[in-house]
Amino acid sequence: MKDIIKKYRKHNFFQNGAIVITSLAIALGVNTYILDGKVGEYLKTSVLDINGVEQTSDIYGKVSDDRKTITLWTQKPMKHVKSISLSLTYNDSDVVIKEIESIIPETSVTFLLNEPGIATLFVTFDTPRDLWGETDFLSVEISKNSTGTAYLNILNANFKDVEENNFLLSTSGILF
């Protein structure tokens, strides 16, 4: 009977050892793949340093050097635009929106403050326009109450064309 128990313990020890060694090999492989491969480059990239990462949103915000103005701009062309609507969300204890004005002439901007920290903007063009890629269309003057990083998210962006069709636009958040 003792021979069977010794054989079982020996077999169990080798089986558990194989599982431990295989697990370590897989962990090291995944770690190397993430930290040294392309996946690692994307994980290590911060929002403020997006070099080498393809930008795919339709609407972006760029922050001025003095951190007091955010300019909203379109990444992709839009044809026969009659109006653009979007919502801005932010922490109202950190950020105050002072003024919003259109960069494009012959345009009216309607600003609705729905709830603290949520603002809806309607940009209406007097005549339908074609907006080509990388076109600035809105300037948002802000002030920050804190010295840390503040966030402003662009949500529910869409545009309406001359035929009254609504087109959903993808957006990006802003850190400043």
| Strand pairing category for 151-161 and 118-131 | unpaired
Structure-model confidence comparison of residues 43 and 84, the more confident one? 84
Q: What is the C-alpha separation between 138 and 103, in angstroms, rounded?
A: 5
Please give the pLDDT value at position 33: 67
Number of domains into which the chain is organized: 2
Question: Which tokens hold the place of 70?
Answer: 């955010």
Q: Please indicate, yes or no, if residue 154 is contained in any of the structural domains.
A: yes
Q: Report yes or no on 49 lying in a domain.
A: no
18/70 same-domain check = no
| 33 and 64 share one domain | no
User: pLDDT tens across 90-116, in order?
Assistant: 888 888 888 888 998 898 898 887 688
Interval 21-53: pLDDT, tens: 888 788 777 777 666 655 544 444 444 444 444
Residue 160 belongs to what domain range? 59-175
Q: Which residues contact 84 (CB under 8 A, 6 or more apart)?
A: 122, 123, 137, 157, 158, 159, 160, 169
Q: Are residues 24 and 103 in the same domain?
A: no
Does residue 111 sit within a domain?
A: yes
Instruction: Answer yes or no: do 79 and 156 share one domain.
Output: yes
Q: Which tokens belong to 125?
A: 């063009």
The CATH number assigned to the domain holding 80 equals: 2.60.40.680
In this prediction the pTM is: 0.62
Residue scoring higher pLDDT (53 or 67): 67
Paired strand residues for 95: 144
How far CA 12 is from CA of 5, 8, 17, in Å, comes to: 10, 6, 8
